[in-house]
Structures are given as C-alpha cells and as structure tokens.
Amino acid sequence: MSLSVEQTAHKQSTRGTLGFVKRNLYVQVLIAVTIGIALGYFSPQLAVAMKPFGDGFIKLIKMTIGLVIFFTVVSGIAGMQSVGKVGRVGGFAVVYFEIFSTIALLIGLLVANVLKPGVGFNVAAAHLDAGSIKQYVSSAHGQGLTEFFLNIIPSTLLGAFTADSVLPIVFVSLLMGIVLRRVGERGKPVRDMVDSCSHVIFGIIGIVMRFAPLGAFGAMAFTIGKFGIGSLQSLAFLVLTFYVTSALFVVFVLGAVGLWCDFNIFSVLRYFKDELFLVLATSSSDAALPSLMEKLEKLGCEKGVVGLVMPAGYVFNSDGTNIYITLAVLFIAQAMNVELTIGHQLLILGVASLTTKGSAGVPGAGFVALVATIALVPAIPVAAVAMLLGIDRMISEGRAIVNVIGNVVATLVTAKREGGLDTVQMRSILTERRSFR
C-alpha cells in the first residue's frame, strides 16, 4: 500500500529532524542537559546517582589531553622558523592573559561597587558554618609561588603526563620541539612520527566525543539533584549579575579585540558552539580543550601558536574566574556589613591575580581561588565563603565558558600578531557557517 502525501512528508520531516540531531553535537548536548535538569528536579536522589556519567566523560577527556598537547606543541615548535619565535609567542600570550585577566578583575570590582548585590543580607559571623568549606581551605593553602614554579619541572619525562597540571607537559614538549628543530633532517623521522600520532589521538577524541551527551546529562542531573534549583533563589541577584557582567565582557571587551583581528565575536561563538555547550554542561573547560585546538587549526591558526597559547591559557587566563572573584568577595563583605576601603580592594585585586592562576580547568578550582583570596583579606572571615557554596557549581559553568572564549580569542590574536593566522581561511569558514545557519 502506497503512503499518502502527508505520511511521506511526515516521514521525510522525521528523518530530517533525526539527521539534524545526529549531525550536531550541540543539539545532542542540549537535549541531554534538558533531560538532566528534569531528572534533577523531579527525582533528585536518582539524579545524584548519575554523577559517574559526568565524571567518567571528564576522565576520558583528561586521558587524551596530555598527548594532544604534547603532539601539537612538539609538531608546532619543530616547524617554527626560529626558537626566538617560540619565546615571542609565549611571552606575548602571558602578557596578554595578564592584561585581560586584570581587566576582568576591575570589571567585577566596578560592578560590585555600583550594584551592591550583597547589601541587605545582614549575615552575622556567628551563623556561619566554617566546617562546610574545610576542604577548600586546605586546598587553598596547598602551594605557594615557589612551589608553583618548581612543579612545572616534572620528576621524570614520563612523569609530566601523570601530573594534574598541563604546565609540565608543555615544558617537556617545548624541550622536545626545540631539540627536533635544532637537529634538522636527523630529527625528521621523529617529526613524521609525531605528526602521524597526532592524527591517531584526534581520532580517539572523535570516538570519545560521541559520549559527550551522556557526560553532559550526568553532570547536569547531579548538579540540579544535589543543589536544587531552589538554591539559586536567595542568591539569584548575584548569579544574574555575574552572568550579565560576563556576557558584557565577552561582547564588548573580547568583541572589540575581535574587530581588531578582523573577526566577529558572534561568528566565533557559533563556530565553537559544540565546545561551549559541552563546557556549559560539564562546568569544565578541560572537556573542550582537544576539540578547541583541532578547530583552531582548521580555522587558520598556526599549529605551534595553538599548541603554546591554548594550554598556557588554562594556567594564566582566568577572565571568568576573575569576574566572579571580585564580585563574590565584595558580595560577602556587603552581606556582612564589612566596609572595604580602597586599600582593601586593591589588596583583593593583587591577591586574586595570583590565586586564580591555574583555576580554569577543573570544577571547584574557582571556589578554592575564592577561599584563598578571602583568607588574605583580614577584614572578612574565611567562613563567610560558605554562604556561596550552594551556588558555586551552577555559577562555575559561566566561569568556564568565559575562560574558554578568552583562550580562543587570545590564540587568534597571538596568531595574527605572529603572522600565523590565515585570515582568508578564517573569514571563509566563519562566513560559510553564518550563511549556512
């Protein structure tokens, strides 16, 4: 029996919809996030049990990050024109990150002083629960500046790949890339092997990314089930202030940088939408790093620049975290009716510029940075941070997204400055994506 016109049209429409969902990772992640939110709301206990799905996906991504950085940096450095260019790229990236991280701190400070989100809470120190932040306090005092730099050097070459930080991997990769460049033709077999291995590792990532919706579902279900949508109500103005401030930072500050580099910030956001939705769902910028690096190369960025700037951004760039740190510290002070002088606020800026280093990749690291900042401001009791513990997981998604966007823009800026950005290819890809959508 032949199908009617209506049945045929419905069948084709269904196939078209399913095909669209299968082709677009961000749609799959968005659907998974929606299901996770619904499960967390209607069945919190079951939703909390979904946590292993999110944790498992993050572990799968972290499993590949070390090799992605190693192969990309080694291949890129070995192919650069001079060792001096390596120094220029790394030096410029660090200075760039410091400038824009400081701008983010100042913006958060300005917004908190103008909007005063904590005024009216009238929290008494006697009602604070210091026990709930004990683990964060111990983490905040875990290492000083000297230990930070010493930990860049791994105990062994292979030990760099077992550390929690990306800096030891970058350090070893730089050494390998510089040596391969110096030995010339004798190092060609090794360079060829590195290039071949990079294709293999990105193939593995392609398989891992198929599980992104499952990871997003688990992470979001746990967040809503554990903390509840209701945990946002009492601190809704602070959360709203942070997200609006972050959006304005991306659109106007990073958008202005994009105009200088001949790209539209909204086109870039569309191009990386899969990765941004993944970060939103998992609250971790680590989850998107391999895919970000691959797509930046496709966009026209030189491999060596991508390999240096993106991993460095996970340590030195903390735009989203910095906006939140100054907002949160002043919110706490206002909620406790503590008057902060200009001197106190300058101290907060200086301390936060140090404590936020390396806080970009892992959920919860931003909260550790907040505790470390508060601990060095005598006017505010550390226990006061406990009032923000309930919303930290939800707000960390925004921090991670802004950090990722900042890293992407920094890579494009550095690549253009060093003549390592194919602007024709970039415009072609971004324009094609815009017209397709």
Give per-residue pLDDT as tens, 405-429.
999 999 999 999 888 899 899 988 9
Phi, psi at residue 104, to the nearest 5°?
A: -65, -40
Which has the higher per-residue pLDDT, 69 or 418? Answer: 418
* The pLDDT of residue 357: 63
Q: Which of 43-57, 198-212, 369-383 has the lowest mean pLDDT?
A: 369-383
Residue 390 pLDDT class (50, 70, 90 cuts): low
Look at residues 387, 415, 302 and name the one whose alpha carbon lies nearest to residue 121: 387
pLDDT over 60 at 126, yes or no: no
Is residue 359 over pLDDT 90? no
- Structure tokens belonging to residue 340: 């902060």
Domain boundaries, the chain: 5-436
Q: Quick one: fold of 5-436?
A: Proton glutamate symport protein (1.10.3860)
pTM of this structure: 0.74
Looking at per-residue pLDDT, the higher value among 76 and 420 belongs to: 420
Return d(Cα 407, Cα 258) in angstroms, integer: 12
Look-up of token digits 């700037």: 309
pLDDT in tens, 98-117: 899 899 999 999 999 999 88
Average pLDDT over residues 243-269: 93
For 114, the token pair is 């103008």
- Name the range with the highest mean pLDDT among 47-51, 309-313, 363-367: 47-51
Spatial contact of 216 and 29, defined as CB atoms under 8 Å apart: yes
Measured in degrees and rounded to the nearest 5, phi and psi for residue 341 equal: -80, 170
- Would you say residue 3 has pLDDT above 70? no
**Cα–Cα distance for residue pair 408/413, rounded to 1 Å:** 9
Q: List, for residues 301-348, the tens digit of each pLDDT value.
A: 988 888 888 888 877 888 888 999 899 889 888 888 888 888 888 888
pLDDT of residue 385: 77
Using the predicted structure, report yes or no on whether residue 232 has a pLDDT greater than 70.
no
Q: Is 144 left (phi over 0), alpha (psi -120 to 50) or beta?
A: beta
Residue that wins the pLDDT comparison between 266 and 118: 266
By the 8 A CB rule, do 107 and 245 touch?
A: yes
Q: What is the pLDDT of residue 268?
A: 93
What average pLDDT does the segment 111-127 reach?
77
pLDDT (average), residues 23-40: 82
Q: Is the pLDDT of residue 204 over 60?
A: yes
Q: Are 165 and 142 in contact (CB under 8 A)?
A: no
Task: Supply 430's token pair.
Answer: 């971004």
More confident of the two residues 140 and 309: 309
Q: Give residue 398's pLDDT.
A: 87
